[in-house]
Structure 1
Amino acid sequence: MSITSFRTLLIALVCCSCLDRASDSYENKVPDVVDFNFHIRPILSDKCFACHGPDANKREADLRLDTQEGAYAALKDYNDKFAIVSGQPEQSEVYLRISSTDSTVMMPPPESNLKLSSYHVELIKKWIEQGAGYKPHWAFVPPAKSDLPEVLNEDWCANEIDRFILKKLHEKKLKPNETAVKSQLLKRVSFDLTGLPPTIAMQEAFEQDTSPEAYEKVVDELLSNAHYGEKMAIHWLDIARYADSHGYQDDSPRTMWPWRDWVIHAFNKNYPFDQFLTWQLAGDLLPEQNEETLLATGFNRNHKITQEGGVIDEEYRIEYVTDRTNTFGKAFLGLTFECAKCHDHKYDPISQHDYYSTFAFFDKVPEKGLVGTFDENTADPPRMEITDEMVNDVLTFVNKKDSYPVAVMVMADSVGIRDTHILDRGNYDAKTEVVTFNTPKAIMEFDTLNFSSNRLGLSKWLLSDKHPLTSRVFVNRIWQEFFGQGIVKTAGDFGMQGELPTHPELLDWLAVDFRENGWDIKRLVKQIVMSSTYTQSAQTNKRKQEKDPENILLSRMHRTRLGAEMIRDHVLASSGLLNDEIGGPSVKPYQPDGLWLAATSGRGVLKAYVQDHGENLYRRGIYTFIKRTVPPPSMLTFDASNRDQCEVRRLNTGTPLQALVMLNDPTVLEASRVLAQNLSKSDLQNPDLINNAFKRIVCREAKPEELEVLLGYFEDQLQHFQSNREEATKFITVGEYRQMENGDDPTIAALMQLIHTMYNLEEAITRS
């Protein structure tokens, strides 16, 4: 098939509407009431805190603008001058400096390359006129449930979420979309809850069910599906930096897949989030601890580990504790905690003392910086060995393939093993002051009367009703899974430099409601997918594009490409190739030859890629072996995490390489061939046969005009391959799945070409 005809076919089948990212259309009009958190602090944080913020070592002129006390105090060497004088901008040095055109006094100074717009200057002036009131950072104030907003169109609201969304839409004079058509809605919720496409039987049943409960029945069915746990686990594996190798140059294998099995199990069994969190942070310290709670602590040990000779043991041990501390900060607090390792945080009220006081919770593990050698698959102590007896008794969810014990890294503390020191500039050998267990006071006091001085106490601190971040951060991240971005766009930064919440009252309402209802994750997920906000169509128009180009207000549903794992899963499931076994060791599907040899040291068990065969070739993407130094190339192309560190949000890019993967990946080609084989054996006539493939791949009925184009293309290809039978035979010889005996090669080749084209449609790998 020529490139021209392929392009023509794609254009005939689908007209992609490329949505230009217009500039923000919100008018820069100074509001009647200027709010410190939502208007002033972001400006100060961006433009001022680097020199006048929490970091004492970088503070200029002894001036702090991140606290009211600092801003109101007399300036150094000028007892009669003040940075801010409440109600009097003309007496406030901040306003005088930011409005000046004199380069010798203006702030920020020209050499900083920072500049305030006239709008920013007017905002600050009006804020000072209104009293220059400071407030605690919004994310450090415990969430509270506000009253549900009153709205005009109550009939549109399926639940409480919709009231908050609709209120903001009314304020911006926008209307929500109509409900998506059934085929779009089923495809969306099926991928969102299980990561798999709806079967043709599911599509037909949903279309035929005209009851008011039809959609809710589908949601309940998907939530109870065992594949739900696999889909939910993907985002948690990114957060936990799960991988199948240690990382660094020699990058030897590690066995942590039983912990992955536990994560899938925990989501399927709907473990409450407080239990999910506690077991992973401190399952080894629970009074009722068992093999399962101990296995859960593998979360803390998923960091990279070196096995290279010549390294300094203590240097790398400190790296491991650092990784655990940073992951804790991002995963549960949603903060850039790592910024305080070498100095006080420049923007957030987290001192270096705070950092190492939190570091102390993870610093009592009897581990080494260097473990084993590059050719050993040795688990770094402490570890647990999973036996058949454990699997038959407690760890029934672990998909253990053989009778040999499996060694998994877990957590254990040794009392008095070492003191924790503040490290000057973060250097492992520059120990200074000894610190004890504590947390940043700006977030919440660590009450030693109620919280034990260990990781279990740290878990209880996180789960306190007074904690401002834990429930907000998790709810926001779950929201992100369904809407493409969180209510706080910067899911890993709820601090001063992070984005403000688009719907702060909704975020707080959900956070409190989540906690009040037993930290029930499935309940939260159902709330989201049952909302009218979620079930909207993704259609847009010029007015919505101009008014809200990024769809922050959610007047429509996002159109987003499927995640890397889901693209693979979709191809396998729709073709009938999918091995839907749950859990077990990671597998090595097709991969270009020589990648591992070219990119690694050439030593050890993982020096060369040894592909699997048989059913292991067709397992879900979540089980693909991840070597940190050379991640799976096709998945990386579609923005999968390389699992080097905690990642709370994947990028969503569009590159030519993605098109090349869909055109040339052996899995896509093999799936096209296998589906072609299976359909060629059916009794379906050509139009029905083509529509059957279309429904499997695009998840809807083909329109008459689309079917006409597809049928014409199939007939052209059939004629071509009938005239070139050797080419047809060669074309369908792809992949290891068994070839069809006594099949008509030209027919199979023509069908394979058609199906391959369907997989390359933008709509095929987009959840609408």
Structure 2
Amino acid sequence: MDATPSATPLARKSAAGACTPSKSASPAARASSAAPPPTSTAPATRRTGRPGDRSGPDTCAHADLENRANFRAVAKFTRLILMSHRIPTFPALPLLLALAVTARAELATTKLDFNRDIRPILSENCFTCHGPDTNKRKAELRLDVKDAAFGKGESGEVAVVPGSLEKSELIRRITTKDKDDVMPPPKDHKPLRPAQVELLKRWVKEGATWTGHWAFEPVKQPPVPAVAGATNPIDAFVHARLKLEGLTPAPEEEKARLIRRVSLDLTGLPPSIAEVDDFVKDSAPAAFEKVVDRLFKSPHFGERLAVPWLDLARYGDTSGYHNDSLRDMWLWREWVVNAFNTNMPFSQFTIEQIAGDLLPKATIQQQVASGFHRNVMTSDEGGIIESEYLNLYVVDRVATTGVTWLGMTVACAQCHDHKYDPITQRDFYQVYAFFNNVPETGKDGVRDRNPKPFLKVPLPEQEKELQRLDGEIAGAQKAAEEFNRTLPEKQLAWEKETAQAAEPKGPVVRFTLDENGNGTSDTRQAVAATAHGESAFVDGTFAKGYETKGQGWLEYGDKFGFEKDQPFSVAAWVRPEAAGGTAFAKRDAGDAAPGWEIEFKGQKPSFYLVQKWPGEIIHVEAEKAVAAKVLSHLAFTYDGSGKAAGVQLFVNGAPEKLIVRTDKLAGSIKSAAPFRIGRRNADASPFNGIVEDLRIYGRALAPEEAASLTASALAALPPEQRKPEHKDPLQKAFFQKLGTNPGVFAKRVDDLKKSKAGVEKAMPNTMVMAEMDKPRDTFMKVRGAYDQNGDKVTAAVPAFLPQIPARADSKPLNRLDFAQWLVSPQQPLTARVAVNRWWAMIFGTGLVKTANDFGSQGEWPSHPELLDWLAADFMRDWDTKRALRQIVLSATYRQSAKAAPALLARDSENRLLARGPRQRLDAEMIRDNALAIAGILNPALGGKSIKPAQPAGTWEINEMSGYNYQKSTGADLYRRGLYVYWRRSTVYPSFVTLDAPTREFCVAQRAKTSTPLQSLVLMNDPVFVEAARAFAQRILQQGGADDPSRLAFAWRTALSRPPSEKERAVLDRTLQRQLATYSQDKEAAKKLASVGDLPKAPGLDDTQLAAWTAVANVLLNLNETISN
């Protein structure tokens, strides 16, 4: 049943614009929000100690610290451990006591940092009532602004007096026992912890140093610490921190594990055994660097980086709302992959996606790039309120831009000023104005097609074809122009030549049609005629003529008769004044009368050869009529074959198509009847018109001869005597002589243009951004309500950030100005957010854990100086590959991921980076990894989305409009997960289970959960079972001649490293058990050996294949296999 007009937006609104504290806020703060944030931030991964997990057992109480522990103060970390209700077993107690002692010492000696130690306390506990939101502010006191915090409040008291605990109202209020005065108020259920109170007191006592929020300060590159042995700035910052923490870096990872890690991190695919062997054998210092550079050149690098970017862009193959109708945005996805592969500067990458359509002379690909913000969900439901949905689309664009480039929860300012950050509601709608000029409607008006604005984009092969056609069109047009330019001169020369040319030889007779009606025979003897009826001899255009006036005729006696095997031709200038009638005949009346005849059927000339009427004749008729009251030259020729095919008609020198009415001539056509001009006999239908220059030949004229009769006559006619009807036949005769004409050239151009139009029609299209000719007015929305306009605003960036200079042309700011501002040197957030995202991709967690929130509620960076160094370095050239290269080439990245229990207890999340990264692969990569290991991955890049096998009936669960999941076929089944069809209401089931987002909204970081259902998917999902079967085939075909060799091959293929003896033994026992099982159950073996669409390799035993499939399934399920 369709949703009501208000149901869908209300259901989505919490996600589009609700204000929710970040994951680092207190549980009480998080619980107070009734709606999820507009973006998704992943909770920390909780490992389950599955086989192959080399991080050690971390399912003790410390695992619970992953969402609560904050490493910005050792004291706070220790206190959380001691307060935990799940105390570890007694052997760990000395470690905890030691940490507590260390924490007290560091608490007393560590210099306070306002942003790290004080602002988070104020933000989490005070800003709701004493922060940026003017509507919620109490007592006119602000604790987010220095001047306000250090000035007098509404009561006249000063909240913070540097150096004086007694005079600081803040300290009095947080330490009082009076329930009416204590802050935060008990009703808020957010009491300060004793350690937080002590930090605030110490801060005030030490002078209350206040600094601006770290993320909003200009990016400045700090000096690299001088650390012995550090050859990479990253290592220098990390090792300096480790030294302060009393920790040492882990040793470098084993080479086989390291190449697997970096291959998965940079391409999403495992290395081949050959690639592993080459690296392991290469002892050169630059061996790893060579591997990294090879991976950056791989086309799969772009695919790897595209996945998290598609999460941010909320990419989907459907519209999302209501019917979740189909759309085509895969061309934009292809642009993203290509941009990463070509290492497009991130500044350009940003500008083209925000405003590629506004760039001067924007290319097709720059316009395609602007589709970033057309990925927004849309609705085609008939009953919606369009202005409501249009508002939703723009709100989503603002929220997505805020998270993607600013790392800010700007959506919290949709309804009111932000509660924690200096983003006002006016700021929100000023940014909204940048995106409020797209020529779209709330209801997109189409289903299963892209709504406007969209752009047709040629595929590579179509691009080549268009280039070829454009070249040929240009050539054909040039040839036509040159032909037409020289045509008059050529025709004049031809006319002179033709007028003087000799006429065709050998007429039996040429009728002068003088007043006596005489003709001249080939022997130059006169041929006398008898005139009948009212008629007249006239001065014709080309010669003397005879006008029948519809009554008269000329009769010549028994002349010009032919037999059926004798060729002959009849040619004359004829002007029909009325339809019908016989123009020439050598035939009498009566059905038995033989002979030949030229008659007009209406205005169409017909030719008859008659033995006996009507059955034994040849009758042909012109397909087209000749013009009435216009002098035309007709020439019928007959080749003496006795067949209709031997008859030809030339009109004005050009061959005319004939329709065969009868073709049954068998006997003689010899006739003793007189030859007549004007009718067949006295009783037959007369011809009404004029005849000039009648000639009869005793042979069939060749086409060029027939043409010359017209051409020579017309060419000899002085130009001043030529009538309009003469121009066309004269030109046609000229063109026939040339063998071409302007029409041929024009048709060539037209045909090429039609071919081009056909290619263009077949081109796919993709949605793009565009600007309206007349921009929409933008208003603040009262409490965020779409239909409640407040103040009118114009486009601008948030006031607390550096502003965009006024345009030189005084025009209003547009999206291009905004896009350029995002990557300007003065803008402090974009570079920090970007490098933090790359860091999170490689290490699992960013230097700032809250990837979507760099504001007051976000987490303090684990290594703030390193973050700023990376951001400043990145801004030099916005080179993504260079930024990632220095990360993965660092010793920090190359560390072993193994961790001792003490280190896990101290730093379970590896925020201090004392060991190498280890994280579970994303959903798409888990599938890709399985297919690659199995040897069936289709590495083709780009193209439309594909539909691999999924449980039957999945789409039908949310079905509203009759869509059926049509599984792909052939090699498409095994393409990378990036290309899997993304239906937002019903995302590919295994991906959802493995924590892929729906992409209904922008997602900054995926969750990494560990559930039993995930294991079931990896064991039983059709794709993974088929991958296991394909892997088994590969093992049996490539792994060697015996089981030990095959086991080693299988292990190395899946994990890149050789198995230990213990691992080999376990795997061998598994194989033997499976062989025994399937030896007893041949039917089950046969079924498993043929599962999936991949053809079974010939010659493989079902029992062997089934057993090895089970072993392969185990290998694909190892925690180590699905981790990097």
CA distance in 1, matches of 2:1056, 2:466: 37
Q: Which moved more, 1:491-500 or 1:715-724?
A: 715-724
After the TM superposition, which residues 299-448 of structure 1 pair with which residues of structure 2 at under 5 Å, given as runs?
Answer: 299-373=372-446, 376-387=447-458, 391-392=462-463, 404-448=762-806
CA distance in 2, matches of 1:141, 1:563: 34
- 8 Å contact 1:437–1:454 — kept in the other structure? yes
Q: 1:21 to 1:415 in 2, by over 3 A?
A: farther
**Aligned counterpart, 2:479:** none
Q: Which moved more, 1:439-448 or 1:161-170?
A: 439-448
**Aligned counterpart, 1:542:** 901
- 8 Å contact 2:50–2:1119 — kept in the other structure? no
SS at match of 1:765: coil
Q: 1:538 to 1:32 in 2, by over 3 A?
A: closer
CA distance in 2, matches of 1:554, 1:688: 38
After the TM superposition, which residues 247-266 of structure 1 pair with which residues of structure 2 at under 5 Å, given as runs?
Answer: 247-266=320-339
Is 1:281 the counterpart of 2:354? The answer is yes
After the TM superposition, which residues 683-702 of structure 1 pair with which residues of structure 2 at under 5 Å, given as runs?
Answer: 683-702=1040-1059
CA distance in 1, matches of 2:361, 2:993: 44
1:120 Cα offset (Å): 1.3
**Aligned counterpart, 1:739:** 1096
Q: 1:644 to 1:190 in 2, by over 3 A?
A: same
Is 1:681 the counterpart of 2:1052? The answer is no
**Aligned counterpart, 1:500:** 860
Q: 1:11 to 1:413 in 2, by over 3 A?
A: closer
SS at match of 2:1114: helix
The match for 2:1071 among 685, 706, 714 is 714
Q: 1:760 to 1:742 in 2, by over 3 A?
A: same
Q: 1:202 to 1:541 in 2, by over 3 A?
A: same
SS at match of 2:791: strand
CA distance in 2, matches of 1:749, 1:668: 14
SS at match of 2:762: coil
CA distance in 2, matches of 1:620, 1:113: 49
Q: Which moved more, 1:438-447 or 1:571-580?
A: 438-447
Q: 1:221 to 1:113 in 2, by over 3 A?
A: same
**Aligned counterpart, 2:199:** 123
1:74 Cα offset (Å): 2.0
**Aligned counterpart, 1:668:** 1024
- 8 Å contact 1:198–1:699 — kept in the other structure? yes
The match for 1:632 among 972, 983, 988 is 988
CA distance in 2, matches of 1:521, 1:75: 48
- What are the superposed Cα offsets for residues 521-569 of structure 1, whole Å, 9 maximum, x if unpaired? 1101100000000000001112212322221100001321111011000
1:695 Cα offset (Å): 1.0
- What are the superposed Cα offsets for residues 101-129 of structure 1, whole Å, 9 maximum, x if unpaired? 11111000100001111111121112222
1:611 Cα offset (Å): 1.5
- 8 Å contact 1:186–1:198 — kept in the other structure? yes
Higher share in helix: 1
**Aligned counterpart, 1:532:** 891
Could you tell me the TM-score, scaled by structure 2's length? 0.64
Is 1:595 the counterpart of 2:954? The answer is yes
The match for 1:108 among 184, 196, 203 is 184
SS at match of 2:201: helix
Q: 1:446 to 1:132 in 2, by over 3 A?
A: same
**Aligned counterpart, 1:18:** 57
Which letter maps to 1:392? E
- 8 Å contact 1:249–1:600 — kept in the other structure? no
**Aligned counterpart, 1:5:** none
Higher share in strand: 2
Q: Which moved more, 1:735-744 or 1:419-428?
A: 735-744
CA distance in 1, matches of 2:980, 2:918: 26
Q: Which moved more, 1:218-227 or 1:695-704?
A: 695-704
CA distance in 1, matches of 2:958, 2:168: 59
CA distance in 2, matches of 1:113, 1:359: 35
- 8 Å contact 2:458–2:760 — kept in the other structure? no
- What are the superposed Cα offsets for residues 252-276 of structure 1, whole Å, 9 maximum, x if unpaired? 1010000000000000000000110
**Aligned counterpart, 1:586:** 945
- What are the superposed Cα offsets for residues 69-93 of structure 1, whole Å, 9 maximum, x if unpaired? 21223221x33x2222222121111
**Aligned counterpart, 1:54:** 132
1:704 Cα offset (Å): 2.3
The match for 2:244 among 148, 152, 171 is 171
- 8 Å contact 1:600–1:629 — kept in the other structure? no
SS at match of 2:1018: helix
1:454 Cα offset (Å): 0.7
Which letter maps to 1:481? M
Q: In the comparison of the two structures, how many residue pairs are matched?
A: 743
CA RMSD between the two structures: 2.0
Q: 1:46 to 1:31 in 2, by over 3 A?
A: farther
**Aligned counterpart, 1:480:** 840
Is 1:133 the counterpart of 2:209? The answer is yes
- 8 Å contact 1:382–1:412 — kept in the other structure? yes
1:132 Cα offset (Å): 2.1
1:345 Cα offset (Å): 0.4
- What are the superposed Cα offsets for residues 700-740 of structure 1, whole Å, 9 maximum, x if unpaired? 11122322232233233223322332221122231011123
Q: 1:67 to 1:266 in 2, by over 3 A?
A: same
CA distance in 1, matches of 2:110, 2:865: 20
SS at match of 1:661: helix
SS at match of 1:175: coil
Which letter maps to 2:168? S
Which letter maps to 1:620? R
CA distance in 2, matches of 1:529, 1:549: 22
Q: Which moved more, 1:86-95 or 1:343-352?
A: 86-95
**Aligned counterpart, 1:612:** 968
- 8 Å contact 1:281–1:299 — kept in the other structure? yes
1:200 Cα offset (Å): 1.1
CA distance in 1, matches of 2:883, 2:466: 27
- What are the superposed Cα offsets for residues 435-466 of structure 1, whole Å, 9 maximum, x if unpaired? 01111121222222479711111112112211
CA distance in 1, matches of 2:279, 2:760: 41
SS at match of 1:719: helix
- 8 Å contact 2:391–2:786 — kept in the other structure? yes
Q: 1:253 to 1:71 in 2, by over 3 A?
A: same
- 8 Å contact 2:795–2:812 — kept in the other structure? no
- 8 Å contact 2:51–2:1119 — kept in the other structure? no
Q: Which moved more, 1:491-500 or 1:536-545?
A: 536-545
- 8 Å contact 2:888–2:894 — kept in the other structure? yes
CA distance in 1, matches of 2:937, 2:290: 25
CA distance in 1, matches of 2:979, 2:1119: 25
CA distance in 1, matches of 2:929, 2:460: 36
Identity value in percent: 42
- 8 Å contact 1:279–1:294 — kept in the other structure? yes
- What are the superposed Cα offsets for residues 662-683 of structure 1, whole Å, 9 maximum, x if unpaired? 1101111111112222332345
SS at match of 2:166: helix
Which letter maps to 2:841? E
- What are the superposed Cα offsets for residues 411-446 of structure 1, whole Å, 9 maximum, x if unpaired? 111243310100101111101111011111212222
Which letter maps to 2:892? T
**Aligned counterpart, 2:1013:** 657
Q: 1:137 to 1:688 in 2, by over 3 A?
A: same
Q: 1:391 to 1:238 in 2, by over 3 A?
A: farther
Could you tell me the TM-score, scaled by structure 1's length? 0.94
- 8 Å contact 1:291–1:390 — kept in the other structure? no
